[in-house]
Structure 1
């Protein structure tokens, strides 16, 4: 069993807090965590995978894992902490004006789900985690709102740090409007990638010309919107290939491709392997 686990649950709302050590990291892979939004704290030296990206932490790190993403921890020393909750407890989309993290911490097109913590930020985050732990362990009637308040503080601080570590390092003096455009594109892509496959589709949703959108991304020193669209489709294709038993033809249809042969060519060209070979080789750990 886990070292410790504390849960708040009221009607449909649920938040849990788990403490892990090197002896029970395998419990993080438990299927019961998959439907939840997760914030995972890992100290230095942890090895883990989110979707198909592998990480080794070089210092204290927070990972933000959406309910449609996968988290697997292979090894690590020292205590790690997992906060998991459902959208009924706190939905970042509904409360976007409060925390402005959707499209950055979650559903960001870079597929970068983490921030690294310096000593000062580490102390603050540890205090917030400890506050949530204390509220869960206590019996105060107002604990739900206190926990939500601490959770929001973690998300807000992490969002600020994500911008510094992943956007401001790429573009000096980036404007608020440019960051909001980036977030809007990320959120729209997450909603529509199954049926909208072109830059023109998203430019229309953003009320701008396709060339303007492409130029904006170029000025931000990031990949083209077209490449981000393809990357998101391929990520979902990999998830469906590896985590489900769906045949390639059905996956192609799920992702909005009426011609499975075209989907096969796209996948093979971008990934360097046919969908069938990717599934077989990845399952074997190649």
Structure 2
């Protein structure tokens, strides 16, 4: 385990926190809704409880690794103390959007509307993750040359390792919990959303595309994703909006139009309703092109 409870790295250019690693031994850190402006990894080493993520509840136990993207609402509740380790890093330190080809974590580990936001670790994978975390901690406590580059290397390996585990678990879960007919519908639904979320926003649109009754598709979606179909579509739209707000200098109006909304104010209200902040504030606090005009 770590010999010290908190390690941090500050961005020398702006004085903001770039990277933080800390141990926790009680529920106080995450027992209320979090909407952090950085990526968060949480490894539960002891205890169990219920995680509320995007208004959906998931049971968890020890040896669970959570992955949350910026401004994703989450909360961990437990009747008894939970123990673990958390890693938090800002877009400025490492952006999964810009390094997608290297680590492939975006859309799998983070920003995955189709899967639960955590992975279960066996003893081998837990040991691998803890070894990487200890390497990060050792690097953080040393004031060595180009510490940030070494930390990024460790972080990349950690994210790739976790992504591999999640991909393996997705394959097992799909084969074990879903019959062939439903698996076919679910995969077609995923493909339909990915191909059409910019132009088709209603659940009935996708029921028509898949030749399913709205009630049947709603039932399959709720059983498999623990979400309504409307929520699934909207979450996918918001994730794309975040990517555009971060990576481009397009105006809010342009982004809204490309996502199928002629009324940018309606789109902004939808974004704020789902993220608790406006698109402009998101860009100003997270975006690579900070301060771009909204119109």
TM-score bin, normalised by smaller chain = 0.5 to 0.7
For residues 157-186 of structure 1, what are the alpha-carbon distances to aligned partners after superposition, in whole Å with 9 as ceiling and x for unaligned?
1111111112343159xxxxxx9x969966
CA, structure 1 residues 29+230, in 2 after alignment: closer, same or farther (shift >3 Å)? same
Candidates 134, 141, 152, aligned match of 2:138: 134
| Alignment partners' CA distance in 2, 1:95 and 1:228 | 31
For residues 204-252 of structure 1, what are the alpha-carbon distances to aligned partners after superposition, in whole Å with 9 as ceiling and x for unaligned?
xxxxxx569x9xxxxxxx849xx8751236779xxxxxxxxxxxxx989
Candidates 97, 122, 127, aligned match of 1:123: 127
For normalisation by structure 2, the TM-score amounts to 0.59
Whether contact under 8 Å (1:109, 1:186) holds in the other structure is: no
Match of residue 58 from structure 1: 61
| Alignment partners' CA distance in 1, 2:141 and 2:191 | 36
| Alignment partners' CA distance in 2, 1:128 and 1:60 | 15
| Alignment partners' CA distance in 2, 1:105 and 1:9 | 25
CA, structure 1 residues 253+137, in 2 after alignment: closer, same or farther (shift >3 Å)? closer
Q: Secondary structure at the match of 1:144?
A: helix
CA, structure 1 residues 163+228, in 2 after alignment: closer, same or farther (shift >3 Å)? farther
For residues 181-200 of structure 1, what are the alpha-carbon distances to aligned partners after superposition, in whole Å with 9 as ceiling and x for unaligned?
969966995xx5xx851589
For residues 39-64 of structure 1, what are the alpha-carbon distances to aligned partners after superposition, in whole Å with 9 as ceiling and x for unaligned?
00112423242422333433301000
Whether contact under 8 Å (1:43, 1:60) holds in the other structure is: yes
Residue 112 in structure 1 maps to residue 105 in structure 2: no
Match of residue 67 from structure 1: 70
For residues 130-183 of structure 1, what are the alpha-carbon distances to aligned partners after superposition, in whole Å with 9 as ceiling and x for unaligned?
1111111111122111111111111111111111112343159xxxxxx9x969
For normalisation by structure 1, the TM-score amounts to 0.61
Match of residue 10 from structure 2: 9
Residue ranges of structure 1 left out of the alignment (5+ in a row): 173-178, 203-209, 215-221, 237-249, 257-286
Residue ranges of structure 2 left out of the alignment (5+ in a row): 177-186, 213-219, 237-264, 272-295
CA, structure 1 residues 104+198, in 2 after alignment: closer, same or farther (shift >3 Å)? same
Match of residue 230 from structure 2: 230
What pairs with 1:35-50 in structure 2 (closer than 5 Å)? 35-50=37-52
Cα RMSD of the aligned pairs, angstroms, is 4.2
Match of residue 162 from structure 1: 166
Candidates 74, 89, 95, aligned match of 2:93: 89
